[in-house]
Chains A and B, each alone.
Chain A
Amino acid sequence: MKLPIYMDYQATTPVDPRVLEAMLPYFQQEFGNAASRNHSFGWHAEEAVTKARKEISDLIGCSPKEIIFTSGSTEAINLAIKGVAEMYGAKKKHIITSQAEHKAVLDTCKHLEKLGYEVTYLAPDKTGRIRVEDVAAAIRDDTILVTVMWANNEVGTINPIREIGALCHEKGVLFFTDATQAVGKIPVDVQADNVDMLCLSAHKIYGPKGVGCMYVRRRNPRVRLVAQIDGGGHERGMRSGTLNVPGIVGLGAACALCHAELESEMKRCAELRDHLEQRITSELDYVALNGDREHRLPGNLNLSFSYVEGESMLMGIKEIAVSSGSACTSASLEPSHVLRSMGIGDDLAHSSIRFGIGRFTTREEVDYAADQIIQTVKRLREMSPLYEMALEGVDLASVEWQGGH
């Protein structure tokens, strides 16, 4: 077993060797511009892009013509939300989203608010799920778009996408979902799931960084949006710029692998995830699961270890690469906005750790990680005044704390 152990698969994933192999010819031998129509260099590049489009559309159940390549999910999110807002903004001004979205969605919505749009930020339930009835109650006559993520990147909670999509279609409102964490990890079918627009990113599914795409529905309804990057009219005029052919080939190959291995990988990741949780909770008390036990990503485990601060935990398990919702680990010094939106107190947010399990995680690694976590939590609790008070029966919520920042 090699140290350190990577257990942060919701942040990014390594490129699968099979993906890399598919990409390599497109850097030097087949380096053509896919937009060059007059020679074989361009044709070969275009053929490769066409193949990738097919591989992606097979995975998510759309037509290859409905794929728009981007630099990743953040760009696709900007294009979807701003592009639709700009297209329909003359008559309608309202957008619905959730407080648990990724910052790419939240910051884009904030930008539109400055331009005069109105945004409703729905609060999820305590497991991080958006309720369909809350979306229904928020829809107005001037609602342009509902944007709700498929699966949450921090707590792994899966939203009722099919039901939200059906509601949007019934009401005549466009539905965009950030599926960055869902595609390739759980079944996604844009037809059955009533999705009008969706984004995904290669680097979350064992492809390269810097490439992703957007699905834009062509009929029932036909989605129209205003391009946010001009210059040549590539990708049906929605996203100009020379196509990143090696990246797109990698994205296609990554999708093909996910498609072929989806079921076995879901099962394997969920088993390892459950094993990790079981090992930890069998040895430690005061451990709480963040997120929805039933509706969650197979490779995600987000736990709060009460009375232990997240950053000090990360220091203790330094051979294991995970993330924390603690303020001390974020650039903004704010605890996780996702946990906060779920009504989880800042004290528990400071104590949260996200474990991300993926294609290359082994049972040996999971056992090693469990040992390290158990040992570290025990050690830090021995020096935690809060754990001592809890054992003495002090109700921490009733204590009047002095100072702090």
Chain B
Amino acid sequence: MAYSDKVLDHYNQPRNVGSLDKARDDVGTGVVGAPECGDVMKLQIQVEGDRIVDAKFKTFGCGSAIASSSLATEWLKGRTLQEATEIKNTEIVQELSLPPVKIHCSVLAEDAIKAAIADFKSKNAAEPAQTKSA
């Protein structure tokens, strides 16, 4: 399979690989996918106020899955939680020129973003900094 230059770039130099302390209240963690399906993404966000100040990922999966999650962390940094929820998998498909068989990688990345935000919100359900009360 031929990969787009952007997929290769993210695969060869993935952005924001690593882990944040998932025990911290200002960190939200999303883990989606399953080993039997060939892809698992862990995506973490660190939030100050309602803004994402850091994002990290680790991914087990094909090159497109790695690139999708790497791109997601890049896009998440600096966004508000509300803006983050608006990231759509189709934007990832477009940015990385993913072929149809790799669309599920982008879906997984969107799921990971939503899972990380949900985790952060559930940890901070009573926090006044929330944009929406849970």
Contacts and interface: CB of A to CB of B under 8 A. Distances in A.
**Same complex origin of A and B:** yes
A49 to B, nearest CB: 41
B17 to A, nearest CB: 5
B3 A315 contact: yes
A328 B101 CA distance: 9
B36 interface: yes
Contacts of B19: 388
Interface residues of B, number: 34
Given A333-B101, A402-B115, A385 B36 contact: no
Contacts of B8: 315
A295 B62 CA distance: 32
A401 B40 contact: yes
A327 interface: yes
A284 interface: no
A386 B60 contact: yes
A347 B36 CA distance: 4
A384 B33 CA distance: 13
A404 B60 contact: no
16 contacts: A309-B60, A309-B62, A312-B11, A315-B3, A315-B11, A346-B36, A383-B17, A383-B57, A384-B58, A385-B60, A386-B40, A388-B19, A396-B35, A402-B32, A403-B33, A403-B34
Nearest to A388: B58
A345 interface: yes
Interface string A233-256: 000000000000000000000000
Interface string A392-405: 00001000011111
B63 A312 contact: yes
A382 interface: yes
B59 interface: yes
A335 interface: yes
B39 to A, nearest CB: 7
Between A311, A335, A383, A396, the greatest number of chain B beta carbons within 10 A of the residue's beta carbon is seen for A383
Interface string B6-47: 001001001001010000000000011111111111100000
A403 B3 CA distance: 25
B78 interface: no
B66 A383 contact: yes
Contacts of A387: 60
| Residue of A308, A333, A384, A385 ringed by the most chain B CB atoms within 10 A | A385
Interface string A364-376: 0000000000000
Interface in A282-332: 307-312, 315-316, 326-329
A404 B62 contact: no
Given A350-B35, A382-B17, A385-B58, 14 more contacts: A307-B60, A309-B38, A312-B63, A315-B11, A315-B63, A328-B61, A345-B36, A383-B14, A383-B58, A388-B58, A401-B33, A401-B35, A403-B32, A405-B104
